[in-house]
């Protein structure tokens, strides 16, 4: 009788890693690469661990340290003691957990707000005052007059013939902005506006009306002693036909609007109030109340026409 052939192979128990049993689309690395927000904690941890037995090691980590919080509190030596985890993988795990903690603690800083020409000039003055060529930049603002971006549009010798207004509004349109401030420098050092500066300002104002993007100011940066910048809005150069609607100043920060020598605000349909030069923050609130009640803030509705400037003091007409 013939004996069966002798099997000389060593019989050792062996199980395929769970990673090998999963199709490619269900493996942790693939799922994290395509949609990390849809991954569970085990898959995220396995993708960080890596290797053929990443799923088994991730399961052991979660079981030994009672979840992700316990794993975060463990030190590198405790993590490295888990079978299949070395010092390098333990360090990668600790670094990943620390990155997640810092991301959760990171609070983005609120962008600066522009309340006056000085605020706008302060953003760019120190850099632009030393430039050897003319540069034109656009400060892009949201509805709360907070800075969305500062974009350089032109560089070199600037005049009204060279500047395309469309290029100035391009950053504001891209960011869906509510307003802009145009700033350019005079390498000569004098901040006095030229006729070309006024002409460009007037063109930008008119274009902004059609685009519903307000030009709040055009600021010229110089470096002459005692006269480092000039606001064309303060001097009413190029802004002589501008009427700014009251709704622009009804935001949460309306107590500190973009301050100018005076301001024309829409009060009622086809009626406008001219704010005097010495209007303070408190008197601005009086005007807002007047808009709501349609009464003069000085005579409280006793008879004068509050949409005319003399009514502010009630001394020009004597009606109060």
Same domain, 126 and 205: yes
pLDDT at 44 over 60: yes
Same domain, 131 and 233: yes
CA atoms within 13 A on the CB side of 74: 21
Which residue is associated with the tokens 């769970």?
Answer: 18
pLDDT, mean over the chain: 76
From 51, 73, 99, give the residue that closes a domain: 99
| 185 occurs within a structural domain | yes
Same domain, 123 and 237: yes
pLDDT band with cut points at 50, 70 and 90 for residue 223? confident
* pLDDT single digits (tens) 273-320: 344 444 444 444 444 444 444 445 555 544 444 443 334 444 444 444
| 257 occurs within a structural domain | no
DSSP, collapsed to helix, strand or coil, labels residue 184 as strand
Same domain, 186 and 234: yes
| 108 occurs within a structural domain | no
Compute the CA torsion angle 220, 223, 225, 226 (nearest 10 deg). Answer: 30
Q: For 142-295, list the strands marked E by DSSP.
A: 147-155, 179-185, 214-224, 227-231, 264-268, 271-274
CA atoms within 13 A on the CB side of 186: 19
| 253 occurs within a structural domain | no
DSSP label at 13?
Answer: -
Same domain, 125 and 85: no
Same domain, 284 and 194: no
- 232: CATH: 3.40.140.10
Task: In whole angstroms, give the CA distance from residue 58 to residue 70.
Answer: 13
| Mean pLDDT across 50-71 | 92
Same domain, 122 and 208: yes
| 266 occurs within a structural domain | yes
Pull the structure tokens for residue 119: 């605020």
Proportion of the chain above pLDDT 90, given as a percent: 41
| 4 occurs within a structural domain | no
Helix (H) or strand (E) holding 138: strand 135-141
Same domain, 157 and 230: yes
pLDDT at 51 over 70: yes
Containing domain of residue 189, as a range? 117-241
Which of these, 150, 152, 158, lies nearest to 134 by C-alpha position?
A: 158
What radius of gyration, in Å, describes the C-alpha atoms of the chain? 34
Helices (H), 35-86: 41-49, 54-64, 68-73, 76-80
Pull the structure tokens for residue 210: 């059609």
pLDDT band with cut points at 50, 70 and 90 for residue 151? very high
Task: In whole angstroms, give the CA distance from residue 206 to residue 195.
Answer: 17
pLDDT at 172 over 70: yes
Query: What does each C-alpha distance from 297 to 5, 111, 161 come to in angstroms?
Result: 113, 35, 47
Which range, of 100-109, 174-183, 209-218, 293-302, averages the lowest pLDDT? Answer: 293-302
| 269 occurs within a structural domain | yes
Same domain, 94 and 139: no
287 exposure class (CB count in 10 Å sphere: 0-12, 13-18, 19+)? buried
36 contacts 28 by C-beta, under 8 angstroms:
no
Same domain, 40 and 95: yes
Same domain, 144 and 230: yes
- Count of the separate structural domains present in the chain: 3
| 233 occurs within a structural domain | yes
Same domain, 237 and 136: yes
- 46: CATH: 1.10.150
């Amino acid at each position: 009788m013939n004996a069966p052939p002798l099997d000389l192979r060593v019989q050792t128990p062996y199980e395929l890693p769970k990673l090998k049993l999963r199709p490619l689309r269900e493996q942790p690395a693939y799922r994290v690469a395509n949609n990390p927000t849809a991954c569970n904690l085990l898959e995220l941890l396995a993708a960080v661990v890596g290797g053929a037995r990443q799923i088994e090691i991730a399961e052991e980590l979660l079981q030994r340290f009672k979840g992700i919080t316990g794993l975060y509190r463990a030190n590198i030596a405790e993590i490295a003691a888990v079978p299949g985890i070395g010092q390098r993988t333990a360090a990668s795990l600790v670094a990943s957990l620390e990155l997640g903690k810092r991301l959760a603690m990171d609070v983005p800083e609120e962008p600066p707000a522009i309340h006056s020409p000085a605020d706008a000039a302060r953003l760019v003055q120190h850099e632009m005052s030393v430039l050897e060529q003319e540069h034109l930049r656009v400060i892009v603002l949201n509805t709360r007059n907070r800075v969305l971006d500062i974009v350089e549009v032109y560089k070199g010798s600037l005049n009204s013939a060279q500047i395309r207004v469309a290029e100035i509004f391009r950053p504001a349109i891209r960011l869906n902005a509510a307003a802009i401030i145009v700033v350019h420098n005079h390498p000569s050092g004098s901040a006095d506006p030229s006729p070309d500066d006024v002409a460009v300002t007037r063109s930008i104002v008119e274009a902004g009306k059609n685009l519903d993007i307000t030009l709040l100011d055009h600021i010229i940066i110089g470096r002459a002693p005692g006269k480092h910048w000039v606001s064309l809005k303060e001097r009413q150069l190029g802004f002589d036909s501008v009427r700014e609607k009251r709704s622009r100043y009804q935001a949460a920060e309306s107590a500190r609007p973009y301050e100018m020598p005076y301001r024309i605000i829409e009060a009622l349909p086809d009626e406008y109030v001219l704010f005097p030069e010495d209007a303070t923050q408190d008197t601005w609130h009086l005007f807002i109340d007047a808009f709501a009640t349609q009464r003069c803030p000085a005579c409280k509705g006793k008879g004068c026409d509050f949409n005319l400037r003399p009514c502010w003091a009630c001394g020009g007409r004597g009606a109060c």
